[in-house]
Amino acid sequence: MTAHMPIRSADRLPKIIARALLGASLLVAMAAPAAATKIERVRSPGGIEVWLVQETTVPLIAMDFAFRGGASQDPADKAGVASLVAGMIDEGAGDLDSKTFHERLESKAIELSFTANRDHFTGSLRTLTENKDAAFEMMRLALNAPRLDAADLERIRSETLGILRRESTNPDNMASLRWWETAFAGHPYGRPVRGTLDSVSTITAQDMRAYMKGVFARDTLKVGIVGNIDGATAAALVDKVFGALPAKATLRKVAPADPQGLGRVIAIDFDVQQSVVMMGGVGIPRKDPDFMAAFLVNHILGGGAFSSRLYREVREVRGLAYSIYSTLVPLDSAALFMTATATRGESAKQTLDVVAKEIRRLAESGPTEEELAKAKSYQKGSFALRFDTSTKIAAQLVQIQIDDLGIDYIDKRNDLVEAVTLADVQRVAKRLLDGGMLVTMVGRPQPAPAKGG
């Protein structure tokens, strides 16, 4: 009975933050070595580098790829272009109209999907090995010759508008949108990745072609392939898919930015039973030498286990919330630290106070030796869980390349975790947690009259 599926903890990355994370390089930070994962670097005759993991047990192939330049490349008045491109390029390409294109995919069980996050345009492919030629051909068509037929554009546009309308009164979305537009006013990150009802209504096929022309290029491309396929075959298929794209991307510059409005609390009055609270401040960039220490600090504060300080103090001890967590969001042009929760209206203030107190306590006193040891142990131990499906591995291969961590990162990663000292986490806790947060809150924080369901 999927219809109702309460689970004990919220999604470890609930949607409010998952949305915030669009474009974040978190995957790799959480990844870790898998003894069985051997990565080959393959250079195609056309000069495209592919990271390949050969895996013959299951007769399938998974490919992930990314181009730099996600929604941050949308024109200022056309938020949502990149997202709409992601929704449109499998709606017919080359000689195949949308219907024929989808029927062909389905008749061979080929899966293509595309997503635009803040910093990247990503795609993935999954196919049975026996259909690999057809699958890569469909991907080639989608990237090189999407039709963007008017009727299909209107259809996908209206579907997008339907989703945006629905989200316009969802407190999670409302809190997130307001947070980003406040923290990054005037910056591309301040615009909603999927656009607004107004902006999506104005996007044309020409806007989408301009986006693709600038972004779909070989110089920023990162590719990972996993499956029952050898290097030479993978190289040839990759050349076929990406070989005809321009050599160089033309990207708008996205200025480095810090979140604004730290210390502010923006309350949006909205008649819902439970108030949604989102908080964010300055984080630590992925390339910063302190990143790993910050990652451990975040784990201790509100990372993905039932043992974090926030989980314990907000949920276990006080029963204030079902979902409570924090996360690092290292984007290309900004580094963020965020936390989110949701609580009944009359507890909103108390919950905010508890979260603020825990953050302050960790900033001032730092983690204990035991907490650090446990956090390291968790991070090292959980490494392999990031590598137990082909699609997960393919995603990791791409993320490690995006973050420029080196092909031996998987082998080095646990040593990097181990090398973090107590002095490191104490210093970094202060750096990470002492800077103040911008808070957006959606709901009725005042005591509300009791109401039935």
Partner 1 sequence: MTAIFKTSTRALLILSVSLSVLSAAALSAGAARGGGPEVAHFTLANGLEMVVVPDHRTPVVTHMTWYRVGSADETPGKSGLAHFLEHLMFKGTAKNPEGKFSQTVATLGGQENAFTTADYTGYFQRIAREHLETMMQFEADRMTGLVLSDDNVRPELKVVLEEWNMRVGNSPDARLGEQIAASLYLNHPYGRPVIGWRHEIETLDREDALAFYRRFYTPNNAVVVIAGDVTADEVKALAEKTFAKVPRVADTAPRLRAQEPPPAAPRTVMLADPRVAQPSLQRSYLVPSYATSKKDAEALEVLSHILGSGSTSRLYRALVVDQRVATNTGAYYQGSSLDASRFGVYAVPQPGVTFKTAETALDEVIADIVKSGVTAEELERAKTRMIADAVYAQDNQAALARWYGVALTTGSTVEDVLAWPDRIRAVTADAVRDAARTWLDRRRSVTGYLVKELPEEKRS
Contact yes or no for 248/219 (Cβ under 8 A) = yes
- Which one of 41, 107, 133, 287 is in contact with partner 1 (CB under 8 A)? 107
- Which one of 43, 45, 95, 106 is in contact with partner 1 (CB under 8 A)? 106
Q: Is 97 or 434 the residue whose CB approaches partner 1 more closely?
A: 97
Q: Closest approach of Cβ 206 to partner 1, in Å?
A: 23
- Would you count residue 9 as binding partner 1 (CB under 8 A)? yes
- Which one of 5, 77, 206, 449 is in contact with partner 1 (CB under 8 A)? 5
- Would you count residue 186 as binding partner 1 (CB under 8 A)? no
Q: Which stretch binds partner 1 (CB under 8 A): 98-106, 136-144, 188-196, 248-256?
A: 98-106
Q: Which stretch binds partner 1 (CB under 8 A): 71-79, 94-102, 187-195, 204-212?
A: 94-102
Q: Is 179 or 184 the residue whose CB approaches partner 1 more closely?
A: 179
Q: Closest approach of Cβ 261 to partner 1, in Å?
A: 25
CA 241 to chain CA mean position, Å: 24
Ranges within 123-182 binding partner 1 (CB under 8 A) = 126, 128, 151, 155, 158-159, 161-163, 165-166, 168-169, 171
Ranges within 61-80 binding partner 1 (CB under 8 A) = 62
Q: Which stretch binds partner 1 (CB under 8 A): 32-40, 71-79, 240-248, 425-433?
A: 32-40
Q: Closest approach of Cβ 249 to partner 1, in Å?
A: 26
Q: Is 169 or 365 the residue whose CB approaches partner 1 more closely?
A: 169
Structure tokens at 269: 């009055």
Q: Closest approach of Cβ 39 to partner 1, in Å?
A: 14
Structure tokens at 413: 């990663």
Q: What DSSP character marks residue 55?
A: -
Contact yes or no for 391/316 (Cβ under 8 A) = no
Q: Is 379 or 401 the residue whose CB approaches partner 1 more closely?
A: 379
Of 266, 183, 181, 268, the C-alpha closest to 442 is 268
Q: Which stretch binds partner 1 (CB under 8 A): 142-150, 217-225, 270-278, 396-404?
A: 270-278
Contact yes or no for 69/119 (Cβ under 8 A) = yes
Q: Closest approach of Cβ 133 to partner 1, in Å?
A: 16
Q: Could you tell me which residues come within 8 angstroms of residue 5 by beta carbon, excluding any fewer than 6 positions away?
A: none
- Which one of 19, 55, 257, 284 is in contact with partner 1 (CB under 8 A)? 55
What's the sign of the alpha-carbon dihedral 116, 328, 348, 314? positive
User: In what helix (H) or strand (E) does residue 336 lie, and over which residues does it extend?
Assistant: strand 335-344
How many residues contact partner 1, by CB under 8 A? Answer: 84
* CA–CA gap between residue 314 and residue 310 (Å, rounded): 6
Q: Is 39 or 183 the residue whose CB approaches partner 1 more closely?
A: 39
Beta bridge partners of 277: 341, 441
User: In what helix (H) or strand (E) does residue 116 lie, and over which residues does it extend?
Assistant: strand 111-116
Angle value at C-alpha 89, between 85 and 94, nearest 5 degrees: 140
Q: Is 152 or 403 the residue whose CB approaches partner 1 more closely?
A: 152
User: In what helix (H) or strand (E) does residue 1 lie, and over which residues does it extend?
Assistant: none
Place of tokens 């990314």: 66
Contact yes or no for 281/436 (Cβ under 8 A) = yes
Coil vs helix vs strand at 91: coil
Q: Is 304 or 445 the residue whose CB approaches partner 1 more closely?
A: 304
Q: Which stretch binds partner 1 (CB under 8 A): 105-113, 210-218, 286-294, 329-337?
A: 105-113
- Which one of 49, 108, 231, 407 is in contact with partner 1 (CB under 8 A)? 108
- Which one of 232, 317, 356, 419 is in contact with partner 1 (CB under 8 A)? 317
Ranges within 337-396 binding partner 1 (CB under 8 A) = 342-344, 374, 377-385, 387-391
* CA–CA gap between residue 122 and residue 107 (Å, rounded): 24
- Would you count residue 31 as binding partner 1 (CB under 8 A)? no
* CA–CA gap between residue 300 and residue 310 (Å, rounded): 9
- Which one of 69, 87, 281, 330 is in contact with partner 1 (CB under 8 A)? 87
Ranges within 197-216 binding partner 1 (CB under 8 A) = none
| Strands lying side by side in the sheet with 222-227 | 40-43, 49-54, 222-227, 60-68, 120-128, 111-116
Contact yes or no for 40/223 (Cβ under 8 A) = no
- Would you count residue 223 as binding partner 1 (CB under 8 A)? no
- Would you count residue 25 as binding partner 1 (CB under 8 A)? no
What's the sign of the alpha-carbon dihedral 150, 151, 156, 159? positive
- Would you count residue 58 as binding partner 1 (CB under 8 A)? yes
Of 338, 329, 385, 333, the C-alpha closest to 359 is 338
- Which one of 43, 95, 230, 273 is in contact with partner 1 (CB under 8 A)? 273
